[in-house]
Amino acid sequence: MITEEMVRAALRNVIDPEIGLDIVNLGLIYRVDVLDDGRTVDIDMTLTTPACPAGPQIIDQARREVHALADVYKSLEDVKINLVWTPFWNPSLMSEDAREELGFY
């Protein structure tokens, strides 16, 4: 069955084109739930700003990367991505590696 760790690993393939880092290390993924015995993956995520011009592209790529897990885990039927704004994203949500790479100490 698909796990949260597998979903997060898939989401590491989604790169914010303006920042050049993946959305997991940027801290844009707030919640990942695998539901219904692996048939549904439900994700809460945000963007660095509500006006992010790459937002639709990032969300679409995130959905595609997670849905690609269905190639191995045939039970996966649906990937739900909920765009949320609470808490509002800030650099403290990034991984330590991402903060160092971008110069936030």
Kindly report, residue by residue over 35-64, the tens digit of the pLDDT: 999 999 999 999 999 999 999 999 999 999
Q: Is 55 part of any domain?
A: yes
Domain count, the chain: 1
Q: Is 97 part of any domain?
A: no
Q: What is the pLDDT of residues 68-98, one digit of tens each?
A: 999 999 999 999 999 999 999 999 999 999 9
Q: Is 22 part of any domain?
A: yes
Structure-block tokens of residue 57: 């592209």
Q: What is the pLDDT of residues 5-29, one digit of tens each?
A: 999 999 999 999 999 999 999 999 9
Distances (CA, A) of 57 to 31, 36, 61: 20, 27, 6
* 28 burial via Cβ count (<10 Å: 0-12, 13-18, 19+): buried
Q: Which domain holds residue 48?
A: 4-89
CATH of the domain at 30: 3.30.300.130
Q: What does residue 79 show for φ and ψ, rounded to 5 degrees? A: -120, 115
Q: Is 72 part of any domain?
A: yes
pLDDT for res 104: 81
pLDDT for res 57: 97
CB 66 within 8 A of CB 77: no
Quote the pTM value.
Answer: 0.94
